[in-house]
Amino acid sequence: MVAETSSAGAERGVSLQTLLAHPQARLLVGLAAVLLFLIAWQIVGAGEIVRSDLISYPTEIIRTFFSMAASGELTTNAAVSLQEFVQGFVPAVLVGVAIGTGFALSRRLRAMFEPLVIALNTSPIIAFVPIVVVWFGVGLQSKSVMVFLASVIPVIINTTTGIGEVNEAWIRACRAFGARRRQVVMKAILPGALPSLMAGIRLSVGRAVVALIAAEMYVSVRGIGRLIQVYSTSDRAAEIFVLVAIVSSFGFLLVTLLRRVEDWLAPWKRDS
């Protein structure tokens, strides 16, 4: 009898693990958890169990979002932040891949500049905001530079690491067929380092968003960070939650898009 009970419990455990192994099941479980959290938040906020001006609640946040969007305040400032992000992030990826490739292929270059990269990686990026503002002013350029500085380092490090872990057999095969150095880099080294490179780009998204918002909060006349700063001084919880949700959603969507791009560029990684 005990053996039968144990066997039944084991079967239930296995079936639960099998169920959660499906992406759709994990998605439903995650959505259910989020829904329960939102319901509890709504009850606590709308029922004034806790002061609603401190935590707000979902329905009030939704109304505030549509109000801010209708007034043009949200779209105008979001467009400014997006422009600053793109102007800093895209060059950071291109420069980071180029420098990381150079580090991996040239020991002398790596020995010269790797200490600087390590120092920048361990330094708090927020500390550079006053210096960047003094150099580039309070306009779009200073925020774009902050995004660049925050995101270029992870790309450099992961590109260097990824190229160093490329299978030597790939490189030897290219050389055996008479490939030149540039062809070896483009046909073997960069494709082999792609998973690590894409991981570095995804990591840089979070750093870039934090640097952008911090720079806009520090000194800016427009942007999502500036709105967060303004509403935080007037205790407008609903508006702050709207802005935080927009920033978080942007980061989530961008990282998800980068994962899809990686699956497209490196299908062998997805199938393995």
Q: Which of 11-15, 42-46, 95-99, 193-197 has the lowest mean pLDDT?
A: 11-15
What is the per-residue pLDDT across 67-79, written as a single tens digit (0 to 9) for each?
A: 888 888 889 999 9
Domain check: are 109 and 172 in the same one? Answer: yes
At 156, which CATH number? 1.10.3720.10
Whether residues 107 and 178 share a domain: the answer is yes
Chain mean pLDDT for the chain: 81
User: What band does 231 get if pLDDT is binned at 50, 70 and 90?
Assistant: confident
Nearest to 62 by CA among 44, 78, 42: 42
Same domain, 42 and 86: no
HSE of 140 in the Cβ direction (CA atoms, 13 Å)?
Answer: 12
Same domain, 218 and 192: yes
Residue 110 has pLDDT above 80, yes or no: yes
Residue 96: both structure tokens together = 């980071």
User: Are residues 203 and 159 located together in one domain of the fold?
Assistant: yes
DSSP-derived 3-state class of residue 223: coil
pLDDT digits (tens, 9 = 90+) for 15-33: 556 655 666 777 787 788 8
Same-domain check for residues 117 and 191: yes
Q: For residue 113, what pLDDT is reported?
A: 86
Overall domain count for the chain? 2
Per the structure, the complete domain to which residue 71 belongs is given by 58-271
How far is Cα 80 from Cα 251, in angstroms, rounded to an integer?
16
Please tell me whether residues 108 and 126 are part of one structural domain.
yes
pLDDT per residue over 148-157, tens digit each?
999 999 999 9
Which residue type sits at 27?
Answer: L
Answer whether 153's CB lies under 8 Å from 206's CB: no
Quick one: 110 and 21 in the same domain?
no
Taking 80 as the threshold, does the pLDDT of residue 166 lie above it? no
pLDDT, position 10: 47
pTM tops 0.85: no
**∠ CA 118-112-166 to the nearest 5 degrees?**
70
Residues 234 and 119 in one domain: yes
Strand, helix or coil for residue 167: coil
**If you search the block for the tokens 């967060």, which residue do you land on?**
228
- Determine contact, residues 223/77, Cβ cutoff 8 Å: yes
Q: How many CA atoms lie within 13 A of 145 on its CB side?
A: 15
Please give the Cα distance from 167 to 104 (Å, whole number): 14
Whether residue 83 is found in the same domain as residue 148: yes
Q: Which of 50, 69, 90 lies at the terminal end of a domain, its last residue?
A: 50
Do 104 and 19 fall within a single domain? no
